[in-house]
Every structure is written in C-alpha cells, then in structure tokens.
Amino acid sequence: MGLFDRFLTNKTPIITTDVQAANIPYNLQASVAGLFFGAQTATRESAMSVPALARARNIICSTIGSLPLETYNHFTKEHLRPQRVIMQPDPRIAGSAIYAFIAEDLLFNGVAYGQVLDAYSASDGGRVRAWTRVSPDRVTYNLNSTNTEITQYMIDGMRVNNTGGIGSIIVFSGLDEGVLNRAGRTIKAALELEKAAEMYAKEPLPTMVLKSNGTNLTPERITRLLDSWKVSRATRSTAFLNADVELQALGFDPKSLQMAEARQYIALEIARAVGIPASFISAETTSMTYSTTVMERKALIDFSLRNILTPIEQRLSAADFVPNGVEVRFDIDDFLRGSALERAQVYEILNRIGAMSVEQIQEEEDLIR
C-alpha cells in the first residue's frame, strides 16, 4: 500500500509548531474595533490633556511605580532577596520611573515593551541583568500569513533579536486593548468640551448684534456706534438704546448648553472606561457612604490596579528574570495599612489570641532597632 499512498486524498495533515521559534499570539481586538468604530483611537497627548483622565492616570501609574517589588519562593512562601534587575531595571534611572510608565503603557495601549540592556552569560543562566522601557509608538512588528502570530519585532524600524539576550524585546501583555483604543470616542468628546470651555472663557457672553430699525447707517457711523458700545460696557453694565437700535444675541451661553453637566458626565464616563472609582477623580454624582482610607485604597487595588499589577508580576516571574519556582509580587501591605489606631486594635486582637507576639508586632511596626 505504500506505493499508492501518494494518490490518497483523505490523509489528515500533521501540523507541528516550533514553540521556541514562535513569538507571541497576535490579538485582533484592536483591528476589529477599528472596523466597527472607524478611526476612533486617541493619542496619549490628547488623553493627558483631559484633566479627569490625566488625574486617573497619575493616581494609577504613580501608585504602581511607588509600590515595592518582593521576591518569594512559590512553594515555601519564603521571602527572598530581590535581584537588582527587579528593583532597578535600568541602572541609569530609578525603578519607580520605569514601572510607572510600564503601567501607563498597559493602561493606555494594552501592551508595554522593554529592551534588554545586559544579560548574564549562558553558563550563569542567561537571565536579564538590566533592561529599560521602550515607548509603544517606537515598536512595530511583522505578522505571519494568517495574522495570528508576530514573527518579527522592530524598534525605530530596526529589527531586534527574537531569541533573547542583549537587544531582545520584553513584552508585557495587557488584559485588554487599552483605554486609547477602547474609549477613543469618549476622550475626543472630552477634548471638544475642553475646547468649548476655553472658548466661553475667552468670550463669556453670546455673540451680540446691534440692529438698526431705521435707515441704513454708513460704515463710519457703524464703527462709532460699536466703539461707543464697547467703551460703555467696559465702564457700566447697564445699557440704553434708542428706538431705532435693537440688541440681539446669537448662540447660547454655557448654562444654556449645560456645559457643566456635560463635563461631569464625560468625567464619569472616563472613570468607567479607566476602571477607577469615580470618587478618586471627583466624578461621583451620588452621595457617598462612609468609608475608611483602607476601604478606598482596597477598592483602588481591586478595580483599577489589579489588571495592571498582574501582567507586570507574571512577566517578571518568567524564567528569563528569576529561577524556576521563584515569583515576583508587588508588596501592597504598606499601601493598605490603616491608621495607627486601627493597627493597634488589630495587633491587640492578634496578640490576645496568640497569633502575634509583642516582638513580631514591634518588628512589623519597625520598633526594633
């Protein structure tokens, strides 16, 4: 039968994938959104010119940049000393600056990039020794024939190493397509409202027209009338018009346009798009119930920071950063610490039931010298 196998048409082809040679899958969400909504993607510059979104970005990304990173043994939960590449990826600048902008890239674009600056030798594991952040607008890529995998990354149009080592790219894959793609129309609407507010700040009154009900006036008399009107309005608010001159107002004032309400609504929509509690950007339209600082910060962690913290933690826990069985996590304990009175009440309960000793409480509060 082997002689006739070549003539058979019902053979099932065997598809194999070289995982080592493959890059990461390509997410088609951004391109699909473009088909439905058109060119609605906003830019970082336009997003940061919207006060509500700029405040949301600064709260989320600055908080992440300030959180310390810790290294743990996955099996024993033992705390390990973190490597320098985790604490300060780029020796030239502080680690907080790197992670704040990595968080921004994940928030705005749904993906963040880094590039390896230095690596250990193969005999030492070949892990990353130093890396720095690369702005997403500098990164392009080529796709395979089915648009399902990225075959080549490029930075500033130059091909980069795909096999690891110095010069290779580090990809932080986000959990969605990013605010600039997902909420581009909302950002553009906010920009238009900002422009309208600027216009009415410069011209606070509607356009005024002086209409002559009598004979036609010469250009010279019209000019003198307008100049006289301008001078009078600068010196007193009350005006007097003769019977043959009528004042007409064209357009609407900000109150008639409900501009304040529209800007408040857009701020609330931005809070929804970003995923930050509306109270953090003063976009809350309903009365708030009582909440402690710890509760507010826990809400920020759960609804705003978690979907950014997780991609960073998991990428830094990969084999090219730390040995197998070691994981990297952000330390949020200090961020969620309550007031001195709240902590004292918790310690008192834990000490009474035997869960914490006095020495452990002193160590937790940095009272042991």
Distance CA 330, CA 315 (A): 12
Q: At what angle do helices 259-274 and 51-66 cross, to 10 degrees?
A: 30
Say if residue 178 is exposed, middle or buried (CB neighbours under 10 Å; 0-12, 13-18, 19+).
buried
Per-residue pLDDT at 369 = 57
Phi, psi dihedral angles at 118 (to 5 degrees)? -155, 150
Is the domain 207-250 a CATH 3.30.1120 member? Answer: yes
Per-residue pLDDT at 342 = 72
Single-letter residue type at 229: W
CB–CB of 13/157 below 8 Å?
A: no
CB–CB of 131/90 below 8 Å?
A: yes
Exposure string of 147-159, with b = 16+ CB inside 10 Å and e = fewer, is eebbeebebeeee
Cα atoms found within 13 Å of the Cα of residue 221, Cβ hemisphere only:
8
Per-residue pLDDT at 65 = 95
Per-residue pLDDT at 111 = 94
Exposure string of 246-285, with b = 16+ CB inside 10 Å and e = fewer, is eeeeeeeebeeeebeebbbbbbbbbbebbbbbbebbebee
Per-residue pLDDT at 346 = 79
Per-residue pLDDT tens, the chain, 369 aa: give them: 454 444 455 544 444 444 444 456 666 555 544 444 445 688 999 999 999 999 999 999 999 999 999 999 988 888 898 899 999 999 999 999 999 999 999 999 999 999 999 999 887 778 999 999 999 999 999 988 888 888 899 999 999 987 778 999 999 999 988 999 888 889 998 888 888 777 666 655 556 777 777 777 788 888 888 888 777 766 766 677 776 777 766 554 555 555 677 878 888 899 999 989 888 887 665 555 555 667 788 888 888 899 999 999 999 999 999 999 999 999 988 777 766 777 788 788 888 898 888 888 887 777 765
Distance CA 153, CA 142 (A): 7
